Amino acid sequence: MKNLVVFTGAGVSAESGIQTFRDGDGLWEKHRIEDVATPEAWHKNAKLVLDFYNHRRRQVVAASPNAAHIAIAGLETYFSTYVITQNIDDLHERAGSRRIVHLHGEITKARSSVDESLIYDIGGEDILVGQTCELGSQLRPHIVWFGEVVSELEVAAQIMSEADYLLVVGTSLAVYPAAGLIHYVPPHCKKFLVDTKASGRVHGFTIIQKEAGIGVPQLVEQLLEAEK
């Protein structure tokens, strides 16, 4: 069974109604990134950060996987499939994908603010000021903020290095260090990019300029046909 890696960004979840800051004026729900998605913001105004992510968590819980998520999950029947995602939602999981690496964390989890290994599933629940882990420290979103280390990067690089197929979906490949992962794929790997804003500038990729919900199911059909 061949190894297939799907690398996803905000575009794959945008069709499910998950708002992204890079599509507009650099804001998330009228907030500057520096005010809600950095360690400095957390130390300056933890309540604002918690309120912001509580709102985003409710958005995620209300959303549903779209055709792209479902098509990606279906690949596991035919390939040894990993999903590496920059997204913090759980739509890949709910669509049925089982092997997922979340580079930037997971909105449906909280963690200790003093011990990164203490992680808690909270589903759609809010995190409130005063909620603490067993060590007595304030719970924070299980999110990799700007300026923090992407701890899953090494794991993702190893997965990329073994890919026979790479499907990049809904990302501009502009957010580093995550975007640098595509350089770990071996020379024989066949690479595809599905994104409405994609262009021929991405060397070595077959470009599919369609929305994820349309382009991904079509690409999956093509791959399965080629493997018959």
Condensed to tens digits (0 to 9), the pLDDT of residues 71-107 reads 999 999 999 999 999 999 999 999 999 999 999 999 9
Give me the pLDDT at residue 179, please. Answer: 82
pLDDT digits (tens, 9 = 90+) for 12-40: 999 999 876 555 544 566 778 889 999 99
pLDDT digits (tens, 9 = 90+) for 149-206: 999 999 999 999 999 999 999 887 777 788 899 999 999 999 999 988 766 556 789 9
**Residue 52 vs residue 24, higher pLDDT:** 52
Using a cut of 0.95, tell me whether the model's pTM lies above it.
no
12-24: burial string, b at 16+ Cβ within 10 Å, e else:
bbbbbebeebeee
Active site residues: 104
Give me the pLDDT at residue 225, please. Answer: 86
The fourth-level CATH superfamily of domain 1-18+65-104+150-228 is TPP-binding domain (3.40.50.1220)
Strands (E), the chain: 3-8, 27-28, 31-32, 80-85, 100-102, 105-112, 119-121, 139-143, 165-169, 190-194, 205-208
Instruction: Round to whole Å and give the CA distance between 146 and 137.
Output: 21
Among 25, 137, 5, 19, which residue's Cα sits nearest to residue 82? 5
Q: Which two tokens stand for residue 125?
A: 């629940």
Q: Quick check: 146 pLDDT over 60?
A: yes
Q: Which two tokens stand for residue 5?
A: 């890696």
- Indicate the domain borders of the chain: 1-18+65-104+150-228, 19-62+108-143
The fourth-level CATH superfamily of domain 19-62+108-143 is SIR2/SIRT2 'Small Domain' (3.30.1600.10)
